[in-house]
Each structure stands twice: as C-alpha cells, then as structure tokens.
Structure 1
Amino acid sequence: MPEFAAATDEDATAEAAAPEPHAPAAHSQTLSRGIRLLEILAETDEPMTIVELAAALVVHRSIAYRILRTLEDHGLVIRDSAGLVRLGPRLAALARAVSRDLQAAALPVLTRIANELGMTAFVAVLDRGEVVTLVSIESRQAHATVAQRPGTRHPLQWGAPGIAIQSGLNASEWAALGHADARRSQAGEVAGIGYASSHDEVIPGLSSIAVPLLVPGESPAALAVVYISSLHSPADIGAALTAAARAITAELG
C-alpha cells in the first residue's frame, strides 16, 4: 500500500516542536485520535473498514492506517482476512483492571439480582460528566434480555443511573463537573423514596431503576437494572437494589 508509506503526518511536526515558554502543555493529537478510534469501534456493533474509520476520525486514510497499525501492535484492535477492523482481546484484559475490586465485589451481586428480577443488572460510574457502564450481567431467567455492554456511555442528565449518581454529588462535586444544566429535580427525591427511575430516556421503550453506589476511593456510581417490562413494582426493585448496594459496599469494607 504505497500511499500509506509515502504519506506524512502533520502530528509529527506539531508534536516535535518545542513548546513556547509559559505556553500551556500541548496535547498529543495522535494519541487522542488513537483513543477516539477505539471509542468509535466500541460504539458500533459491526467491524469497520479503514476508509470508514478515516471518515469517522476526519483524517486521511494514511493517518488512520498508521494509528491502526500501532493499535494492532498492542493487540487493541485486530483486522480479519477481509481487512475489517474490530476491537482486540487485549482491551478486555485492560478493562478487567479498571476498578478491579469494585467489579469483583459487584459481579456475584449483579448475577443474583439479574436472575431474581429477570432483568439486566449493571454498575455505572461517573466519568467526566457522563455515565459509563462498568460491568453488567444479563438474566438467565428472562425470555428477552437487554444488552448493556460495559463501556456504554450516556450523558449524566439522562436515565435512572444518572439521576442516582447526581443524588450523591455535593455542591462542590457538581460544580467541578462544569455542568451548565441544572441538576435533575428527581435527584432530590432519591433520598426520600430510595431509588431513581426513568422510562424511554436512554433507550426508547426501556425502563430503568437505579440507586446510588458510594464506595470510598471509587468514582460516584449507581447500581441499576434495565428492562422491557416487569411484574415487580418500582418500589420492590428499588428495595432489592438498595440491599444489593449495601452488600457490595460491605464486601469492600
């Protein structure tokens, strides 16, 4: 592929230049693009071509190719025989190390809750103004399950997990997020009723119940379920999640 070998990357020149005195520290554009490429692949259910990735990154194919080759070298992405790109197995190993203790404590509790309620149970954490799924378990008992993949993210202002996380933030923590939006009014109700609820917000047609999960040393989090329909009342689901959250925090000491 001659075009890839011959192309030059404007990043190299920009990053090699010495910073001006007192200038703000420069960010690595190449690193940022590499991370964004991983995010793009994580957000799609299908493998992508280099042309599609380049278009999504808004860069020339040669730049996308070089970023891709570096990520391949580290096992973070792989290409099949047709040249289609997907996330690599090395990412799974890295993901297991994120909040390792919290994941380990949550997994058996999530498994029990998912099967008792017939819903998908998950832990979501706050990440710079967004809610990110850390770990999830689908029910073995339900006729239809909802996939809530780890790494899935949505704005803090959306959905029951976001409301539950907001309810645990103090004024300084909220201000530090730099949110122009006001805190959801439902966040103030969580302390009274014990849980947050939403319907048709993050995913059309689905409902979610969540409770705050506050673990010292970890990002603000929520323990939640997502489902299509249920015979359980929101109050009963909230009570089950509250007990589960207590079990997780007790396990972590």
Structure 2
Amino acid sequence: MSRPKPFKVAAIALIFAAPEIVQADEITVFAAASLTNAMAEIEAGFEAETGHDLIVSLAGSSALARQIQQGAPADIFISANPGWMDTLEADGLVEDGTRFDLLNNSIVLIAAGTDAAPVRIGPGMDLAGVLGEGRLAMALVDAVPAGIYGKAALEHLGLWRGVAPRIAQADNVRAALAFVATGEAPYGIVYATDAVAEDNVMVVGTFPAATHPPVVYPAADLSNRDFPAEAAFLDYLRGAGARAAFERQGFVVVAE
C-alpha cells in the first residue's frame, strides 16, 4: 500500500493560495501650475495607496494644452479653466465620459511682504495709484487661466485700460506669484490658493465672484491610450485623501 505524499499536496495548495500580483503602471498627469502644492501631496498619497507611479508635469494650462495637441504623452489633464479642456475635447483628445469638474478657486490681489494695507476692490478704485511706480504681476492675460480671470475682473470693474501698460506678465500663475514674493512687483493677481502657498505675500483684497467667470478646474482622461490605472487616479481625485490635500491649500472641492 502506497503512502500519501503530503509535501506535493501542500505545495499545490500553496500555489493556488498565492495572491495575484498587480502590475504597477506609470501615469503622466498634466496639471495647472496653481495645483503645485496639492499635487505633491496627492502624488505621494496615490503612489503609497496603489503602487502606481505618478509623473506630474506642472505649467500654465495653455502651455499644457498645446503640448497635448502636439502629441505630448500625457494621460490625465487637470486644467485651471474649462476653456482649454473644451479645446482638447473639440479636438477629440479627451476620452468620452471621463471629464468632470474637480475644484473651484477665487482670485485675489496680493502684495509683497506681510504688512501692506487692505485694498477695497470695486468700481472706481484707484489701482494705478495703489501701484505707484510699480507693476502688477499677472499670468499671461490672453492665455493662462489666472491671467484671463484677472483681466476679466479688471475689465468688469473698468480698471483694465488704466493699468494695462503696467502689467508684468508671467508664463504661469506661480511665476507671477514669485514676482511679488521676491519684490520685483509690489502687487499681483493670483489665485487665493497661491497666496496660501507663499509666506512672503499677503492678500490685500479679493475680487468679487461676479466680476469674472467662475474659476473651475475640470479633470479628464486623455484619449491617447487607455489602461485601468487612469481610472484609478481619477477615482482617487474624488476621494477623501485628495479632498483633504486640496482643502489644505484652500481649494473648494466640487467633485463627488
């Protein structure tokens, strides 16, 4: 009578009980420069939770959108305004059904240092007088969302023509913030969240929401390739970890 062979039976059981190995993917995210601090937190949290690698490229939404149009290998786009996402969608570069509004923000007038006087923002304000001999730092006013919103607010208030020759334009909103933080410009227009991220500036006034289009950040999967990690990242953006990171920077999270 033959004896049982427990070793082989045990070995087979171990093989069937082995956990499934999940393949880690690399996801490239193009995100508006105003998301710099929040995306650093989100990158670390997402990678720790999922094992995927997140590559984040930050710049003005206009520059990122143009790179995507030219074939840049991005998987996800988070824009600081709907217009550039609309452009990519019209070009067939956004995966159908993946776009959603992620965040809201506001625009503010900032001053260099920490002891500037508050400025009442409204029709008739003497913004040119506030600037004195200095310049007003803004992101590119005809391309970058923060600059577009800021110009719209100044036009609405009847102030644009008086200060247009005094604008120091920067490639993106974080560069405009740096102009003020380093004292190259005494005042600037940036997002409220940018002011939170920089200790060497202070908010001296907030532009009323009625003076400019709503500041909306849409996110979407791009249509150049399709793999499960992209959906996992978009889900993460809607989750508690990302919400906390955004809210720490002063964003209003609208995604559910």
Same fold (TM over 0.5): no
Q: TM-score scaled to structure 1, two decimals?
A: 0.30
Q: Say which one has the larger Rg.
A: 2
Q: Which has the higher contact order (CA 8 A, sep 6+)?
A: 2
Structure number with the higher strand fraction is: 2
